[in-house]
Structure 1
Amino acid sequence: MKNPNDGFVKGRLRSIKFALKGLWLLISTEDSIKVQFTIAILVTFLGYIFSISPSEWMFQFLAIGLVLVAEALNTAIEKVADFVHPDYHEKIGFIKDIAAGAPAFATIIALIIAGIIYLPKITLLLT
């Protein structure tokens, strides 16, 4: 909640504190984020092993960010939906299914980017 007595800098620092708390809550409590974060660490190691180019690093980190942001937003939407209507409701289920589609799209795009980056390198390694 915004404190009217906070100046610009103090308000930004409070925002950063809340953002870091949110990151910690996601990583420490949400299984889907734990899985995606672990995959992000693994593909980062793969990037070092395969010496990917700066532009490949850029696309890889954009893909990682896309997936993690989509997972975080999906989690937030599901938490709000469960809070608003804790029992099963067809419309809430529909909303949650749509929200779950966002990380699915992001993951498909991330897999395509990973294929473009790593398949040629793996093919060269195997030949």
Structure 2
Amino acid sequence: MKDNFIAKRLKAFKYAGRGAWMLLKNEASIQVQAAIAVLMIVAGFYFDITTTQWALQFFAIGLVMAVEGANTAIEEIANFIHPDHHPKIGYIKDVAAGAVFFAAVIAIVIGCIIYIPYFN
């Protein structure tokens, strides 16, 4: 019997959860991002930020974690395809890391917009 739509979605969710766990367990960059996310969540409770600020903060956390995960996947694929140093592979990896940089800068800006007023 073929899997139905819901069963397929549940399997996909299971695989995604496993991938998230693998990232958190094995990748230092994701571990650092997760630790920062926990600190920001604690700060949100401490400063009693608004619902809109919570939404922006979780958007920023999700954006950075998602792009960091995609960057890790791109690096793994690049290393698998061409384990030795190659200028094109280096370019691909640098561009993927640049995407993480953009996401991190946006997260920092969002964090500053949320938290700087609490220190004035």
TM bucket (normalised to shorter chain) is over 0.9
Output aligned runs, 1:90-101, within 5 Å: 90-101=87-98
Return the letter of the residue paired with 1:44: I
Return the letter of the residue paired with 1:47: G
Counterpart of 1:89 in structure 2 is 86
SS in 1 for 2:105: helix
CA distance in 1, matches of 2:24, 2:11: 20
Counterpart of 2:75 in structure 1 is 78
Query: Structure 1: which 4+ aligned runs deviate by more than 4 Å?
Result: none
Identity over aligned residues, as a percent?
49
1:46 to 39, 43, 47: 43
Q: TM-score scaled by structure 2? A: 0.97
Q: TM-score scaled by structure 1? A: 0.92
Return the letter of the residue paired with 2:53: E
Return the letter of the residue paired with 2:46: I
The structure with the larger Rg is 1
| CA positional deviation for 1:5 | 2.4
CA distance in 2, matches of 1:14, 1:60: 29
Output aligned runs, 1:1-127, within 5 Å: 5-123=2-120
SS in 1 for 2:3: coil
